[in-house]
Amino acid sequence: MPLSDEFEKVLQTIRSNEASYARIAVIGQPGAGKSTLINRLVGKKVAKTGQGTDTTLDAMEYEYELQKIVELPGYGTALFRFDDWKERFRPQQYDLFIYVFGGKFSSEDDALFDNLIEWNAERRRPMFLVRNKSHDLDGDQRAAIVRDIRNRSKSEERLYFVDCRYNEGIKELHAAVMRTDFARVWRDRIATAYRSARKEYLENSRQPAKGEIGFYCKTAAVNGINPIVGVDVAVDLGIYFKMFGAIRNRYGIDHGDLKLYALPIAKKLLELVTKEGLMILLKNVAGKATARTVLKYIPFAGQAAAAALSYKMAEYAGETYEEDCYAFASGVMDDLIERKVAELMDGGVTNEFN
């Protein structure tokens, strides 16, 4: 199966598994009133509330205006230190953040902000900063809180002052969240998942491909049939054809891919399935192998030196071919990802966002 078809199936699986709604994570300090805030935003009591800091013990998901709103437990408690919380609940998987706080900041709040900056370096996620329990705060106090959180979060996002007891600021926050371009953040999530799949595919192919090089280098060291003009060594061209074929197979590249994509690297890979193209490559790499290897083997005469040179030639040729296959596969997948993301932009999103 051509690489393009194989990788397209990977992308289709990602697309079908990533439901077409945005996922909003409510995160923040324990006891800040996250559950109560969710109930106010949703318009009915869906989240369990309580006086303790560990009322919520798992990620709880609720329907919210055709999206999903997910309450994550508070961090910095006896049950959930920040690093454990981050590893268990993976907040970076969500599309939007509503960060809720109700008191002074701790070192674990600062750790969260540092992580938010890191996650948003890869994919920009809207974030709503919410100071709950704000009913008694005067203007000066609010201004000081704004300065503090902007300094800590390194964010210019607006800070929303709400008080769930008196239902203050809820409508304003709800309206702001609903003005979010949910289709865009959903598409960004899918595009990021596509790129992650590309990286995983390439890395999973690279190590086996390098293993093929090691195997065929050893074989090349003891087999010589065709003399290389200008170099005192003979090689078995069949070994090289097999090595190159094995490397292509590790990346899922077939002749159909090479003929379909009009890339310079594709022409080079096609040339190396011919005897003429291979002989040109071997003559070029022989000079590199000789420069780095032969002097090392001067004490050994004849066959030993030729075997060493054959090994190094196969190694250089294999490494060059593997790098070209990596670049070609990467180009094919980048092209496919670009087209698939364009499809999302052109109407691949369900009516939930319309």
- For residue 306, the enclosing domain spans 196-345
> Which region among 113-127, 232-246, 289-303, 314-328 has the lowest average model confidence (pLDDT)?
289-303
Task: Specify the pLDDT at position 46.
Answer: 92
Report the alpha-carbon angle 238-241-245, nearest 5: 140
Distance CA 154, CA 129 (A): 12
Distance CA 206, CA 97 (A): 36
Distance CA 46, CA 56 (A): 13
Give yes or no for a contact between 239 and 310, defined as CB atoms under 8 angstroms apart: no
Same domain, 175 and 219: no
Task: Specify the pLDDT at position 301.
Answer: 43
- Tens digits of per-residue pLDDT, 221-262? 766 555 554 455 556 788 888 999 999 999 999 888 888 887
Rounded to 5 degrees, φ, ψ at 181 are -80, 85
Q: Average pLDDT, whole number, for the chain? A: 85
Collect all residues with Cβ–Cβ distance below 8 Å to 211 and sequence separation of at least 6.
none
Task: Specify the pLDDT at position 294.
Answer: 44
For residue 153, being part of any structural domain is answered with yes
Its pTM stands at 0.74
Same domain, 87 and 202: no
Same domain, 73 and 168: yes
For residue 88, how far is the Cα from the chain centroid?
A: 19
Same domain, 151 and 232: no
Side-chain-side CA neighbours of 257 within 13 Å: the count stands at: 26
For residue 190, being part of any structural domain is answered with no
Whether 183 has a pLDDT exceeding 80, the answer reads yes
Residue 70 bridge partners (DSSP): 25, 61
Give yes or no for a contact between 213 and 250, defined as CB atoms under 8 angstroms apart: no
Same domain, 167 and 78: yes
Give pairs for 305-310: CB < 8 Å, separation 24+: 306/224, 306/232, 306/233, 306/234, 307/221, 307/222, 308/221, 309/231, 309/233, 310/220, 310/221, 310/222, 310/223, 310/224, 310/233, 310/235
Whether 336 has a pLDDT exceeding 80, the answer reads yes
Give yes or no for a contact between 55 and 80, defined as CB atoms under 8 angstroms apart: no
Whether 164 has a pLDDT exceeding 90, the answer reads yes
**Both structure tokens of 296:** 């090392």
Whether 54 has a pLDDT exceeding 70, the answer reads no
For residue 219, being part of any structural domain is answered with yes
For residue 189, being part of any structural domain is answered with no
What's the structural domain count of the chain? 2
Same domain, 209 and 172: no
- Tens digits of per-residue pLDDT, 69-78? 999 999 988 8
